[in-house]
Amino acid sequence: MRSNGLYFTADALLSLLLLSALLALPAQQQEADWSQLLALQKENDLLKIWAAEGMPFNEVEIISDAQFVFPGSGMKITLDGKEIPLGAETGSAIASEIIFFDSGMQKHTIQLAVYR
């Protein structure tokens, strides 16, 4: 019977050491950065609106919309392979793409990349 008590004591001691080691680890708290999520949501909303407007693309209106939503940011808009750079393309980018079909079942692609 004495050996059972020794096993329980060793098990309890090992558990206590493991618990104290886990509690001694520094807590990792990261600040939430919602700016990337917000930019991605704005991009997706713009792409949905542009796709809903359909063809032909009104480039002047698309550029105006993009500059209104992302003032002062560098961007690159691609309309069916035609690139429209706006501002400086520096730093990391958040990019979105939408593919849609017009009434004649022609495939169209719009891509929007916003640089930070």
> What are the domain boundaries of the chain?
35-115
Q: Which position has the higher pLDDT, 58 or 111?
A: 111
pLDDT tens track for 60-75: 888 898 899 988 888 8
For residue 51, give the amino acid letter.
A
Degrees to nearest 5, angle at CA 102 with 101 and 103: 125
7-47: per-residue pLDDT in tens? 567 778 888 888 888 888 887 776 667 888 888 898 999 88
